[in-house]
Structure 1
Amino acid sequence: MRTDKKWSDAVLKLVSELNNFDYADPSGNRAHTGCVPFYIDGNRVGVIPAQVMKELPNYPDVFKICTEQSGQCVYLSEQLSTEVKKSDVFERVLMDLRKQEKFVTLKGWRNEKYSIFYKLGEPPICHVERAGCPLFGFIQYGVHVNGYTYKDGELKMWVGRRSKTKQTFPNMLDNMCAGGLTSGLGITECTIKECQEEGSVDDETLKKLKPIGSISYCYIDDRGIEPETQYLYDLELSPDFVPRNADGEMQSFHLYSLEELQDLIIAEEFKPNCALTIIDFLIRHGYITPDNEPNYCYIIQRMHISLQPSP
């Protein structure tokens, strides 16, 4: 394991870039200028970026723009009283914006819906095209699997190279299996599906899937505002297991030592949240410690920011 300053600086840079937007207070710094909280049924469920705010007056039957004591805010029309009506109107608005080629995120249209929640565990408010979620700052959920094994007494990890045609982060390194939490799927159900489709993991091996926690962060980029929670799983594999992609989303798999993984993270070869998943693994398995990482506490704090409302 590397413990040098170059490695430490790379980890610090990663957690800082994945947390360049304060979701709890969308008025705090320059990254938030013009961003407005978004309410559905009286609950804040997102933050709308400034460039999206400019388009909302074109949909007066959908969005109500108000100025309150705390500043400007947006409400979804109260006339949209059901889950179906809300879902349908978001589809209509996003399809219209897509036709106008207004936002880069909509160029990566997935034909895949994400469920929008006020609190995870409650019934969904509505279902929204995955590519459109950053335009409203909706919390997105996903699953990531650390597929690892031991060879000659050394821990090694399988990682995948994303397809060159992926809508986001093409050709970058990824965890062995990962994916967004599609509407209608349970968390472990989604994880098993991704393992089968991305790595051809057999049923017997899947019995070893171990849920080990989550990471949360929020950033703003050219696609919009992206608060995300990723559910993490460890999967210990037999030394002779080799993942094989079945859905075309990975172009290849590679087995790396921990030091090789560190070098690839430093070189920014990984999709950022996949690198964060590996860092979480290294912390939990005792490779990154308070004694060898000067920013240990800060890194852990920035991997677990609060996105959920209080119970």
Structure 2
Amino acid sequence: MACNFHHLTQTIRLSFPPLHNFKVSDAFTNKSLITTFPVRFSVHSSAKLTTSIRSLRVDTASISYRSSCTFTWDDVFRVSQPEYSPDDSSDLRGYFEKIKICNRGSEMQSEFFPFIIEDQVAGYTHNRFASHLRKYDDVFIYSGNNGGRFGSHVKLNSKLKTADERTRVVGEVIKCLAEEELIPDIQNELYPVASTFGSPIFFSLDRAAAPYFGIKAYAVPLNGYVEKDGQKFLWIGKRSQVKSTYPGMLDILAGGGLPHGIACGENIIKECEEEAGIPRSISNRARPVGAVSYTDINGFSYKRDVIFCYDLKLPEDFVPMNQGNCIKA
């Protein structure tokens, strides 16, 4: 987390996006060093946190992007120096590079079949992953391209009528696929499967399996900031090294996936308490500021994610406390 040692000065009029792709160098993996040399992102007092992309102005021209697209502590300290002066403050190449990374694999879309439930497209499965589902023909039915409107597709067996029955039966298949190491890191957290957000739920699926069925998944990230001396300072988290995704990288203050049976606002309050020790009396002031969607294809995984972004102004003297094993520092 951050204190008040260094800060980056940017002029930005957009809700701060998650920083999953910014990698912390190995030299700062020790927690005590993170505590000693914290970082804040400072926003000029004239800036407002809005969702207008047209108003975005980020100084990124001189930030070095290595072949792995990492952003190290050396970069952090360099751009925080008073003498740092980008060639062109309106240059958005770095910003769009991150968008490009989040939308990789579009050329592989033709390798995926629609996943059909009740005659609606609920997701997409890779053609080779679908071949592993054929042996569970009492649950999944494969149909070749017979001229129908879906073409080749995988369909949930229509004999499975209720959401509870589907959740139980599909869950058993997911466990088998995990034992075959086709789906990693079963998380025992259920995501709702629906054709669109807010639509009736077909069934619930383990979070780890969601991208292998290409379902729409949702999350609620929160950016926490304080105002001091006319400036806004953004708290930055560092992900735990034991996380299965993006270990050791910089992150938002709090947030997580949107599981079945909980509303966005209530989930933000829960995540704030679990990950940063923010009490409900403060977290219930969080404001929804927009949504970001992306499509990321990698191997058999087809992530079609939507994140509902929140901003939270924190008391100036508030210090987040690590909770659990999501955030290290």
Q: Could you state the TM-score of these two structures normalised by the residue count of structure 2? A: 0.70
Mapping 1:160-171, distance limit 5 Å: 160-171=237-248
- Output one character per residue of 1:259-297: Cα deviation in whole Å (capped at 9) or x when no partner: xxxxxxxxxxxxxxxxxxxxxxxxxxxxxxxxxxxxxxx
Greater Cα shift, 197-206 or 61-70: 61-70
- Output one character per residue of 1:114-143: Cα deviation in whole Å (capped at 9) or x when no partner: 111123223311011100111100111110
Aligned with 1:88 (options 168, 178, 181) = 168
Q: 1:36 & 1:193 partners in 2: Cα distance? A: 36
Mapping 1:122-141, distance limit 5 Å: 122-141=199-218
Structure 2, gaps ≥5 residues long: 1-9, 11-57, 64-91
Structure 1, gaps ≥5 residues long: 23-29, 253-311
Mapping 1:9-88, distance limit 5 Å: 9-20=93-104, 30-66=107-143, 67-69=145-147, 71-88=151-168
Q: 1:21 & 1:39 partners in 2: Cα distance? A: 22
Aligned with 1:224 (options 298, 301, 307) = 301
Mapping 1:218-297, distance limit 5 Å: 218-222=295-299, 224-252=301-329
Aligned with 1:3 (options 59, 72, 80) = 59
Specify the code of the residue in structure 1 equivalent to 2:119. G
Deviation at residue 167 of structure 1 after TM alignment: 1.9
Aligned-pair identity in percent equals 30
Q: 2:235 & 2:205 partners in 1: Cα distance? A: 32
Equivalence for 2:268 = 191
Q: 2:146 & 2:291 partners in 1: Cα distance? A: 35
Counterpart secondary structure, 2:256: strand
Q: 2:301 & 2:176 partners in 1: Cα distance? A: 17
More helix by percentage: 1
Q: 1:247 & 1:33 partners in 2: Cα distance? A: 40
Deviation at residue 152 of structure 1 after TM alignment: 2.5
Distance of aligned partners of 1:60 and 1:187 in 2 relative to their CA distance in 1, 3 Å threshold = same
Specify the code of the residue in structure 1 equivalent to 2:103. N
RMSD: 1.7
Equivalence for 2:78 = none
Deviation at residue 6 of structure 1 after TM alignment: 4.9
